[in-house]
Amino acid sequence: MATDLKHEDRLLLMLLQDQFPLNAVPYTDLAERLGWTESAVLERIPRYRERGLLREISAIFDTRRLGYRSTLVALQVEPERLDAVADAIGRHPGVSHSYGRDHAFNLWFTLAVPPKADLMQEAQALAEQPGVLRMLSLPVVRTFKIDARFDLNGEGPGVGQPALLPAMPPIILAEEDIAYVRALQADLPLVQRPFWSLAVQAGLREAELLDAARRLRATGIVRRYGAILRHQQAGYTANAMVCWKLPEEAIPLAGEMVAAHWAVSHCYQRASYPPEWPYSLFAMVHARSQAQLESAVQELEDRIRPQATAVLATTREYKKERPRYFLHT
- Residues classed as catalytic: 97
Length of the chain: 329
Please give the C-alpha separations between residue 163 and each of 128, 227, 264, 267, in angstroms, as whole numbers: 37, 22, 11, 9
Please choose, from the candidates 33, 27, 91, the residue with its C-alpha nearest in 3D space to the C-alpha of residue 57: 27
From CA 63, how far away is CA 60, in angstroms rounded? 9
Dihedral-angle region of residue 70 (phi above 0 means left; psi in -120 to 50 means alpha; beta otherwise): beta
Other CB atoms closer than 10 Å to residue 127's CB: what's the count? Answer: 21
Q: Would you give the end-to-end CA distance of the chain in angstroms? A: 40
- Beta partners for residue 76, in sequence order: 134
Q: What is the DSSP string of 106-157?
A: -EEEEEEE-TTS-HHHHHHHHH-STTEEEEEEE-EEEEEEE---B-SSSSSB
Report the candidate in 162, 176, 170, 78 with the shortest Cα–Cα distance to residue 127.
78
Q: How many CB atoms lie within 10 A of CB 60?
A: 19
d(CA 163, CA 223): 14
